[in-house]
Chain A
Amino acid sequence: MYTIREAKKEDQAFLILSIIEADKSSTNICSYCKLLEIEELEFKQFLHEIFEEEITGFEFSVEAFVVVEHDGKPIAASASWIESEEGLPSWQLRMVALRTVLPAIHITNLMGKSAICNTINIKRSEGTLQIESVFISSEHRGKELLKKMIDFHIKLRSNNTNNIASMELLTYNSNLLAEKAYTKIGFKKIEYTTSSHEEIKHFYPSDGMTRWQKITEHGN
């Protein structure tokens, strides 16, 4: 029996696990850890500190997440927000949040990596529902939990004045499981990057990213 609900403070450790596992995309490369030159445990601690600030509009927040429970335990999670709804794009929120928790040495570690990141990064569209940090425990895959979570996100972020017209998400190109799952529920590829930078696979799980889009009934 599966139950879907909004995330709560008590889920925080599982949400942070979801962020990292989604970023790793079935590899052992956490891009944040590689770029910042920190261990996963340390990155988790920084995320806990950011979550305490309760900022909305990106995935480093309890408010962004929905959780699927099985037998009372969280087994899947995913985040959503309306991009730039309160002014700042999610990438800026991510960076200022990291700035306030990272010691200076980690900022120094980022110097010179901008050129690498820009060969792979894709910008998100303002006003669209962003789906991010999707994680489903391996033993619970194939149960249509992805679709159920996305339907829940749409209801959660819709209100009388704001019907969701378009949804977007980003995946790494090597993540074929994600590609299959998103294609199955109606997402279409609209943009992709492929980096030829020789160090790209040291920092990221793949050498490229794909932006996916799905137009809802309100966007037609």
Chain B
Amino acid sequence: MEIETKLQEVFRDVFQDETLAVLPEMTAGDVDKWDSITHLIMISKVEEVFNVSFRLKELIKLKNVGDLITLLKEKTE
């Protein structure tokens, strides 16, 4: 399954929105239930689903979903 598709499943689960479509330019301000706690849970779920571990210095560079997809590609390919 493509990274974008798997990531969309995680986002729909964490942010409780079955219609949510993941877009590269998307940020927390674009999603209703994307707050501090769901952000933490989302990162945790992404690590679990993709079987990766993020370092803090990687996470602070993620400005939008596109950056997260790029990082996931680097870590999984």
Binding site for A on B (CB under 8 A): 28, 33, 35-41, 43-44, 54-57, 59-60, 62-63
Contact = CB atoms under 8 A, between A and B. Distances in A.
Name the residue in B33, B43, B55, B57 with the highest tally of chain A Cβ atoms < 10 Å from its Cβ. Answer: B43
Contacts of A118: 35
A145 B71 CA distance: 45
A114 B56 contact: no
A151 interface: no
A53 B56 CA distance: 8
B37 A55 contact: no
Contacts, number: 63
Interface of A: 35, 50, 53, 55, 57, 86-89, 91-100, 104, 107, 110-111, 113-114, 117-118, 121
Contacts of A55: 56-57, 60
A30 B21 CA distance: 37
B37 A117 contact: yes
A118 B56 CA distance: 25
B36 A99 contact: no
